[in-house]
Amino acid sequence: MSSIVFLIQCPDQKGLVAGITNFFAEREYNILHCQQYTNVQDGQYFMRIKLEDEANLDRSELEQQFSDFATKTGLIWSVRYTDQPYRVALLVTKASHCPYDLLLREVEGELKCDIPLIIGNHDDLAGMAKQFDKPFYHLPITKGTKPQQEAQIKELLKEYDIDLVVMARYMQILSEQFVEEFAGRVINIHHGFLPAFQGAKPYHQAYDRGVKIIGATSHYATADLDEGPIIEQDVERVMHGNSPEDLVMIGKDIERLVLARAVKAHIEHRIIISGRRTIVFSEGA
């Protein structure tokens, strides 16, 4: 069954729930699920509302009418239709565990999206792309060719009509211009529990500090390295006897899970970005 999902945010005020739900009820839309959250510290209200797509109105007409309603009420909103799967591009380098996991989840239907291409700054994962019957574009990068390489990436994203870019252990820093142009549409996986151990070799940093828990963090990419709004995190306990290599191996499993959860939340239209934070509504609704 096709559904319509609205994400809404605005300053908190009386009558919001009644006003929004009445808007849809008056147009005879069946509300399948509604989640809400109020940040009392900042006075901000957030809602995710899922409707049965009964075609009571043409989609463009629904959006126009809701836009008029939102303008009067001061709402910021977005909408997604579940019969239009997200188109996701994977950026990769040499590590295969994260992209392979996402591709497998797509094949098995766990991630309801289309991954039409893979872009790598090395060609190590061309065989993986072939295994999943995906086009692989090898776009090498040097310090002097970064602008040209990113321009090629953007051309491919446009050609393939991409909605979401996933840095699946893509060990390059995207330019400020790139992440601003695709703000809220680039997800990264950092192999460390942010905000601790930013930058390169976080597992080695963790080993040097003798930590007892390591983790991974998935976040939206911004111009500030490893500072984007956090979507998902997880951790695993480690022992003093674990070597840096052990931490890397343990961390790979955490990275797979954390990145998959973040991508799933995004393509299910469950995330609202609010400043440096995210509101992630629950799964299965």
* Domain-terminating residue out of 81, 111, 126: 81
For residue 219 the two structure tokens come to 């976040």
Q: Are residues 167 and 207 in the same domain?
A: yes
Residues with Cβ within 8 Å of 250's Cβ and at least 6 positions away in sequence, in order, are 214, 236, 238, 242
User: Is residue 204 domain-resident?
Assistant: yes
pLDDT in tens, 211-245: 888 889 999 999 877 789 999 999 999 999 889 88
Residue type, 218: S
* Domain-terminating residue out of 60, 81, 102: 81
Distance between CA 252 and CA 99 in Å, rounded? 12
DSSP-assigned letter for residue 23: H
Q: Are residues 93 and 216 in the same domain?
A: yes
pTM: 0.93
pLDDT in tens, 54-63: 877 899 999 9
Q: Per 3-state DSSP, what percentage of the chain is helix, strand, and coil (rounded to 5)?
A: 35, 30, 35
User: Is residue 98 domain-resident?
Assistant: yes
Q: Are residues 41 and 98 in the same domain?
A: no
Contact 79, 6 (CB under 8 A): yes
Rounded to 5°, the CA angle 174-130-144 comes to 30
What DSSP letter does each residue of 55-83 carry, written as one string? -SS-HHHHHHHHHHHHHHHT-EEEEEETT
Q: Are residues 68 and 97 in the same domain?
A: no
Q: Are residues 90 and 54 in the same domain?
A: no
Q: Are residues 226 and 189 in the same domain?
A: yes
Residue 275 above 70 pLDDT?
yes
Question: What are all long-range contacts of 94-98, with beta carbons under 8 Å and residues at least 24 apart?
Answer: 94/122, 94/124, 94/125, 94/171, 95/169, 95/171, 96/124, 96/125, 96/128, 97/169, 97/252, 97/255, 97/256, 98/168, 98/169, 98/189, 98/255, 98/256, 98/259
> What is the separation of C-alpha 272 from the centre of its chain, rounded to a whole number of angstroms?
11
Q: What pLDDT sits at residue 206? A: 83
Q: Are residues 218 and 258 in the same domain?
A: yes
Domain count, the chain: 2
Q: What pLDDT sits at residue 260? A: 98
Residue 142 structural domain: 86-280
- Mean pLDDT across the chain: 93
Q: What pLDDT sits at residue 67? A: 98
Least trusted range by pLDDT, from 35-49, 135-149, 192-206, 250-264: 192-206
Distance between CA 278 and CA 80 in Å, rounded? 18
272 beta partners:
279
Beta strands 136-138 and 113-120: pairing type? Answer: parallel
| Active-site annotation holds for 163 | no
* Domain-terminating residue out of 35, 63, 81: 81
Question: What's the pLDDT band for 285 if we cut at 50, 70, 90?
Answer: low
pLDDT in tens, 61-118: 999 999 999 999 899 999 999 999 999 999 999 999 999 999 999 999 999 999 999 9
Catalytic residue among 163, 226, 234, 253: 226
Please compute the mean of the pLDDT values over residues 193-208 and round it to a whole number.
Answer: 77
pLDDT in tens, 144-171: 899 999 999 999 999 999 999 999 999 8
